[in-house]
Amino acid sequence: MADQGEHHKKSWILHHILDRMIGSREIVALRRKMILVQEYVKNSEMSSMLVFETGSMSEGFVMKGSDRDAMGIYPNIEVICPNQNTSFPSDNRNMTIFVMRNDDCRSCYVPLEVVKLERSTSVTTEYLVPVQDKLFISSEIYKQLIKDEFNAQYPMDVEIHGPASSVKNKQSNFGIDTDFAISFRCKCWPPKANEWLSRTRQHGWPGEVLVNNISQSGCHVVPIGDKTSPNTSLQWRISFATAERKLIHSLSHEQFLVYGLLKYFLKQISGILIEIGVDEDILSSYIMKTVIFFAVESTPHSLWKEQNTFPCFILCLDILISWVNAGYCPNYFIVSNNMFKGKLHGGNQEKLLRFLMEMHEMKWMCLSVGTFIQPSIGVRIQRVFNGEWKDILLAPNSTEFECDLAIFRKSLPQKLYSILDHLLSYLNHSRTLMNL
């Protein structure tokens, strides 16, 4: 009983340290609202491209080493599912339309066949590749030409990372390192993900209303193919970015903090993994997001309490270890897609599995590993356990709050600063109320 009481106490301390480091329930909600306002302002001015914020910042995080992820969506380009082939969008006069083709692609990847090409859109014949008597759009050509177009319009050094173009802070008007992915929207739910809609969920997450809302929002496709396929240049990856943001926003604060702890853990161990010879692209923040989705879906809501913060983290670590051991990481929406395929094998798998098992055996001490964020969470826990309460009792200082607002402000056009000033007055007033 004494050991259990100590574990509960340390988990309670861990919860409040995370609440202090990552953000309180109110601060996280405020960050998310700021992102939504930013999207609304940007998209009200832009007609040729819509912006959808993805990644950590849109989820409510501001962590050391985090960049900004955004998805650009062309409103006059649409992808339809195969069963929609005879039912084009009603207003398609100025639209380019593609249809997903199944072929023999790996799950989560599709070739896009042209069914209607509108010259006034961003798609031109130089992106298209003939296959027999049909035309398909090449993800490789499209991604490269979009990058070249960015370089021609703006004096930037743009690098391609996966489906995204990466722009460094000094060259970006976003005020932070930015990964920007061009995407096409698909208003229908992809047939390959139908299992997710009907999946049995014993613990009620996500709820039926949220599942229906997500399915009606459809998906997107981004320009990257399956690297293990000989036809990679003709393939596009299905993206569930809009669904993922809704799911993250639906988590309880306790679940969100455990997700934040997983992201912290990844940052702390990434350098060590490189040192021991594990490829750096095997574990990613997306893998950690997938872990938390499966963990929350498969456990009762009552488990996610302050005093269970560390056991919930260990549960997530167990899930990750089981995937590495099996060499199979299922995509949350399309479980037949192994996200470790082509990455985790042989020496990589053995080294990563051994390392994660060692972390598991270390128990609480695994939170002291790594130097990317200092002092480590493990050190902070021990300090508080020894009576130094400053790490959890102090309110978040103004520096963190002002940093959030500075990032937000830099991402807006100059002429919208007056609108932002009114918003800041509201935010500062809200902050004052929260500190009463």
Residue 112, token pair as written in the block: 């896009």
To the question of domain 1-45+251-394 being in CATH 1.10.1410.40, the answer is yes
CB-CB contact of 405 with 412 (8 Å) = no
Amino acid at 215: S
Name the nearest CA neighbour of 241 among 220, 216, 255.
220
Among all chains, which residue has been given the structure tokens 């900004």? 68
Decide: 232 and 283 in contact? Cβ < 8 Å.
Answer: no
Looking at residue 170, its pLDDT comes to: 47
Q: In this predicted structure, what is the pLDDT of residue 161?
A: 46
For residues 423 and 428, give the distance between their C-alpha atoms in angstroms, rounded to a whole number.
Answer: 9
Structural contact between residues 214 and 121, judged by C-beta atoms closer than 8 angstroms: no
Residue environment code for 8-31, b if the CB has 16+ CB neighbours within 10 A, otherwise e: bebbbbbbbbbbbbbbeeebbebb
**Contact between 298 and 281 (Cβ < 8 Å):** no
Q: Position of tokens 């997530």?
A: 316
Domains of the chain by residue range: 1-45+251-394, 46-250, 398-434
Q: Helical H runs in 121-180?
A: 139-153
Would you give the end-to-end CA distance of the chain in angstroms?
Answer: 38
* Residues in a beta bridge with 166: 159, 179
Query: From first to last of its 436 residues, what are the pLDDT tens digits of the chain?
Result: 447 788 889 999 999 999 999 999 999 999 999 999 989 888 887 678 899 999 898 999 988 877 778 899 998 899 999 876 555 656 667 889 999 997 788 899 999 999 988 876 666 788 899 999 999 999 999 988 877 776 666 555 545 444 544 555 444 444 456 778 889 999 999 999 999 999 999 999 999 999 999 999 999 999 999 998 988 999 999 999 999 999 999 999 999 999 999 999 999 999 999 999 999 889 999 999 999 999 999 999 999 999 999 999 999 999 999 999 999 999 999 999 999 999 998 899 999 999 999 999 999 999 999 999 999 999 999 999 888 887 665 544 444 555 555 555 555 555 454 555 555 555 555 545 444 4
- CA torsion through residues 421, 422, 427, 432, sign: positive
Whether 1-45+251-394 shares its CATH topology with 46-250 is answered: no
CATH number for the region 46-250 comes to 3.30.460
Distance CA 103, CA 326 (A): 27
Give SS3 for 227. Answer: coil
CA-to-CA distance for 337 and 329, rounded, in angstroms?
A: 8
**pLDDT value of position 124:** 74
Q: Rounded to whole angstroms, how far apart are CA atoms 365 and 310?
A: 11
Full-model pTM: 0.86
Tell the residue number behind the tokens 């199979």, with chain if given: 328
